[in-house]
Amino acid sequence: MRVIEIEGGSGPAEALRIAERPDPVAGPGQVLIRVRAAGVNRPDLLQRTGAYPPPPGASDVLGLEIAGEIEAVGEGVTRWAVGDRVCALLGGGGYAELAVVDARHVLPIPEGLDYVQAAVLPETVFTVFANVFEGGALKAGETLLIHGATSGIGVTAIQMAKAAGARVIATSRGADKAAAAKALGADISLDAKTDDLEAQIREAGGADVVLDMVGRDYAALNLNSLNAGGRWVVIASLTGPKVEMDLQRIMLKRLTLTGSTLRSRPADEKARLTAAVETTAWPWVASGKVKPPVQAVFALEQAADAHAELEAGGHIGKIVLSV
């Protein structure tokens, strides 16, 4: 099978190359998927530069989410059959023509979605569900503040929060991105380049949950924006992970500060999360309430171009490799 390998060098053009590897075989409890499309995510960029190695036992090939059809099923797998159209969450191995996946981490592609649309769902939907709805305990009628609202995670979080009956305040950089976040359903969409974020968030009533991908530079903003009993959920720290904080303010406002990663979770925990997503969030996908936009589609051998597009930061939604 053809795969994308990391050859060396930090830049995408220098680091990524097309190569061939033996076809993988589905073991007990696994399925073999013929990959038709693979999502491109920021963790892929980090792994390419050596900053985010795959967890033990995972493929060293990039790619955390795919869509395709079942090619073979391993011993003990009863739910899936050859030919089923599925998407899946991976620990690695998505930038390839074939991928072996734990059968418990696979979901059916809802009717009406093609492989490209389905490939952008697992990493983002699982991440938002685990962090906003489980870690952040967002409820209908509450307000979710999303930073980086036009990223793959951001556009998914907007749609999932609205599907759950919550109000959304979105921040992004630039008028075009602010307009896009508004069009995707954000009740209030702010331009971080020109708006006074703290004043306008407080004027809008503050937030009950913050989904934070920024880190250090927005720490004070988040602390000031959260209402009493609020939950601050960190899933990335693009401006740095270390902050100084007044713990008394957290105590007085009864705040919860939490966060998580997805890739390193044990297989059993990912299986639990898959089942929870299918029960709660997959109906939103099937109904069309959650349908993250696709910014661009590249062929597998153009993986370096896809990485360059994501690094440029102008995207709204997801970038996909067509295999």
pLDDT tens digits, one per residue of 78-113: 999 999 999 999 999 999 999 999 999 999 999 999
Take residue 47 and report the two structure tokens written for it: 């792994």
Amino acid at 232: W
pLDDT tens digits, one per residue of 117-163: 999 999 999 999 999 999 999 999 999 999 999 999 999 999 999 99
Burial of 308 (0-12, 13-18, 19+ CB in 10 A): middle
Provide, rounded to the nearest whole percent, the portion of the chain with pLDDT above 90. 96
Domains along the chain? 2-123+263-322 (3.90.180.10), 136-259 (3.40.50.720)
pLDDT given at position 134? 98
Element (H, E) at 270: helix 267-280
- Mean of the per-residue pLDDT values of the chain: 96
Whether residue 284 contacts residue 14, with contact meaning beta carbons closer than 8 Å, is answered with no
pLDDT over threshold 80, residue 58: yes
Calculate the CA 275 to chain-centre distance: 17
Q: Which long-range contacts (CB under 8 A, 24 or more apart) does 131-134 make?
A: 131/211, 131/233, 131/235, 131/259, 131/260, 132/157, 132/160, 132/161, 132/209, 132/211, 132/233, 133/160, 133/164, 133/280, 133/281, 134/276
pTM of the model: 0.95
pLDDT tens digits, one per residue of 181-218: 999 999 999 999 999 999 999 999 999 999 999 999 99
pLDDT given at position 131? 98
